[in-house]
Amino acid sequence: MVESGLLPILWFTAGAVTALLSMWLGGWVFFRMLERRERRRVRQEQLAGLVSLAYEVEQWLRRLRSAELLNGPPLEEPSPMSRINTIADLFVPELKAEVKRLNTAAVAFETWVEQAAGEKRSQRSVSQATLERYAEVQRAVLERVKDVARKAEGLIGG
């Protein structure tokens, strides 16, 4: 049997150990919750940035067309696609498929611009067949941008 003088020390020690464990566990849970909240905030910011850049791709492609075919101002800035790919790779791998399809559509648009610019240089005009393809390549880019935005909206809500 335990001596009566030792019992309060055991109770005190057990209470102190319980208090320390509770404080440690409470702090750990609190910081895990903060970390999770911060990751969610960063992810939402990256999703919003990615969608904004996706819309900029379409505008950049129109400026490319203007610069190459319509004697508009030269296009100085690079395509936003590399930044979109980086954000998708680092922060939102769930969007990789949509980003890949957007990239494919953007490349098709750029190829169309190169073809039309080549025709303009060599023949002094762009063929009717090439001009008619413009609506197709532009629509493809717009659809892929909408796909990225829809999927991102679902990810933000989820």
Query: In which residue are the tokens 């941008």 written?
Result: 145
Classified as helix, coil or strand, 73 is coil
Rounded CA separation 75/43 (Å): 31
Q: Who wins on pLDDT, 9 or 65? A: 65
User: For the segment 36-79, what is each residue's pLDDT rounded down to a tens digit?
Assistant: 888 888 888 888 899 999 999 999 999 999 998 888 888 889 99
Is 135 domain-assigned? yes
Domain range for 101: 41-157
Is 32 domain-assigned? no
Give pTM, 2 decimals.
Answer: 0.74
Q: How many domains does the chain have?
A: 1
Is 96 domain-assigned? yes
Rounded CA separation 108/137 (Å): 7
Calculate mean pLDDT across residues 115-142.
Answer: 90
Is 103 domain-assigned? yes
pLDDT at position 2, please? 53
Is 1 domain-assigned? no
The structure tokens listed for 115 are 């073809």
Give which of 126, 108, 124 is closest to 116, Cα–Cα.
Answer: 126
Burial tier of 109 (Cβ tally within 10 Å: 0-12, 13-18, 19+): buried
Looking at the predicted structure, is the pLDDT value of residue 13 above 90? no
Any idea what DSSP says for residue 125?
S
